[in-house]
Structure 1
């Protein structure tokens, strides 16, 4: 038996298939499939290359593992263009189910408090794309504001804005400051939001030079804000937001899709 020699010229053309598990709840997978089924029924497009369950699996694999469309197409027996269309369609369907800012505050009122913070979704950009460069993180990305419950459960993800956008500027632009003031909801945030006023509470600057009760306030403030990192952990558990290769115009849709997945899962 003659074994062919793999040379650098032909090595890239070889493809070795393998099977791997997807660590998402089956309840989420089933719910995405049924939403796609309703979407197809409404548009009368039931005959497709992939069924609803396979399309749901295709999208969740893309979100969870950040696979390229060429790899997804090869794994599901469809073309790269078809894989892109299926994923894009599913993202739009799921993003429509993400709660808006005012819907996220349902059940909250005076006396309640939430956690507000921002995160950066890294993107592929060159040095000339200055609006997308975050000086704080020293990389290009998109700014996403997150509102979470005191236990870290995400309530709302904002639309993505260029990474250079300051946290306070983004909070005002998205209407977070005004919405919390209207409902008299206390907001715990870091120093980036100092000057927001309204119901925002931020740590004191130069607390080591301040009286002891200021230092104690900062310690308590940090302890209460700590669970907010869980909301970021849920967002970044999906690999796609860790390094987005898509157009910046689609990142908001992806973020809202992940909010729907977080609420459903």
Structure 2
């Protein structure tokens, strides 16, 4: 049976430019090179730099693996194996949450920012289709929770969760608030985290209320015509204003 394309079409090649950091490429290539040395891998179709370039192209632009692999002279399954191998190496370098929070507490930080985002993916098949559909964004994807410092510098990113997971549910599953308060840090989030502080009723010294109170999660509040802000909501808004002034 002939494997030639229908109607006489021939494969073509073209150049693509992607905004990738050279330092990122070198870092990933060194990880792959060290991993191959540990496995005593004698020969592969592409070198560590070539595999790193293919992996970053897949992660950055999400092309068809068959098209990208054919340009490199390998199959789509080989490209998929390269990508999974590189993701495993990168995941092993991920910083642990408690280590990040301990470093922030040592430098005297009091507040960290917590927020979630949806990484859009293709539509899954089978039972995973419904779990990865996000009703808010009307798209399939995976949810990750991120923690930054007061200036917005990224400190930690969680593992991927199903796309239907709300931000507050992700924070509860990962016990983010408990980890933060164990290190004396107060989490600040958007309105999607309203009610987060009501999960656990423990008392302690609060930097916002300047006395014993429940564990605090700072979230901004907007006053309504028939329902003015409570004292706790006013204190939360004041803390947000002070934080913006300090970071600005």
Give the TM-score taking structure 1 as reference length. Answer: 0.71
2:110 corresponds, among 112, 115, 119, to 112
Aligned counterparts of 2:186 and 2:115: Cα–Cα separation in 1: 14
Give yes or no for contact 1:184–1:199 (8 Å, CA) kept in 2: no
Structure 2: which 5+ runs fail to align? 198-214
Give the aligned partner of residue 133 of structure 2: 133
Give yes or no for contact 1:207–1:218 (8 Å, CA) kept in 2: no
Q: Deviations for 1:77-104, whole angstroms, at most 9, x for unmatched residues?
A: 2122211111211111111111121122
CA 1:139 to 1:21, structure 2 compared with 1: closer, same or farther past 3 Å?
closer
Shift of 1:39: 0.5
Specify which structure has the higher proportion of helix.
1
Aligned counterparts of 1:66 and 1:219: Cα–Cα separation in 2: 43
- Structure (1 or 2) with the larger CA radius of gyration: 2
Give the aligned partner of residue 54 of structure 1: 50
Structure 1: which 5+ runs fail to align? 1-7, 226-265
* Cα root mean square deviation, aligned: 3.0
Give yes or no for contact 2:219–2:236 (8 Å, CA) kept in 1: no
Give yes or no for contact 1:172–1:178 (8 Å, CA) kept in 2: no
Structure 1 residue matching 2:196: 3-state secondary structure:
coil
Give the aligned partner of residue 231 of structure 1: none
CA 1:120 to 1:183, structure 2 compared with 1: closer, same or farther past 3 Å?
same
CA 1:16 to 1:138, structure 2 compared with 1: closer, same or farther past 3 Å?
same
Give the aligned partner of residue 179 of structure 2: 179
1:237-256 alignment to 2 at 5 Å? none
Shift of 1:153: 1.9
Q: How many residues align?
A: 217
Aligned counterparts of 1:112 and 1:215: Cα–Cα separation in 2: 19
Aligned counterparts of 2:17 and 2:242: Cα–Cα separation in 1: 36
Give the aligned partner of residue 154 of structure 2: 154
Give the TM-score taking structure 2 as reference length. Answer: 0.76
Aligned counterparts of 1:14 and 1:164: Cα–Cα separation in 2: 42
